[in-house]
A = this chain, B = another copy of it.
Amino acid sequence: MDATDAQTACFEAGIKFGTLYHQFAGTPVSPASADSLARAMEEAIENQPYCESVTVDVLVEALEAELADSAADYTELTGRFVEVEMTIDYEGHEVRTRMDMQDGYPLMRVVDVDPES
């Protein structure tokens, strides 16, 4: 069957998460540069179609903890250091999504679909 609008909204939400993660993973990041990276990630993804809002939190405390055990003063961005909330609207179907660490992995998930179908 063709996708419903709610299904397409979920597909579009997934595209944005894959984009955000794989475009920016590996970026050199430090506590001092966390904020500019977060803003750039938000504004880059908000360019994409159907993307209502993106909030990126680069976790400065987690970066500081990583670097405390390190000879370096920066590291590479990975899922341990970032939390994301994103809202997609496709043809009136709003999908709220979230990425954060669950059981040691960055988990991308749909929080809410409204209306349901």
Q: Which residues of A contact B (CB under 8 A)?
A: 1-4, 6-8, 10-30, 32-33, 36-37, 39-48, 70-74, 76, 78, 95, 97, 103-105, 108-110, 112-117
Contacts and interface: CB of A to CB of B under 8 A. Distances in A.
B43 A37 contact: yes
A37 B45 CA distance: 11
Copies of this chain, how many? 4
Contacts of A70: 104
B16 A45 contact: no
Contact of A19 (B22, B37, B78): B22
A15 B79 CA distance: 14
Contacts of A26: 21-23, 25-26, 78
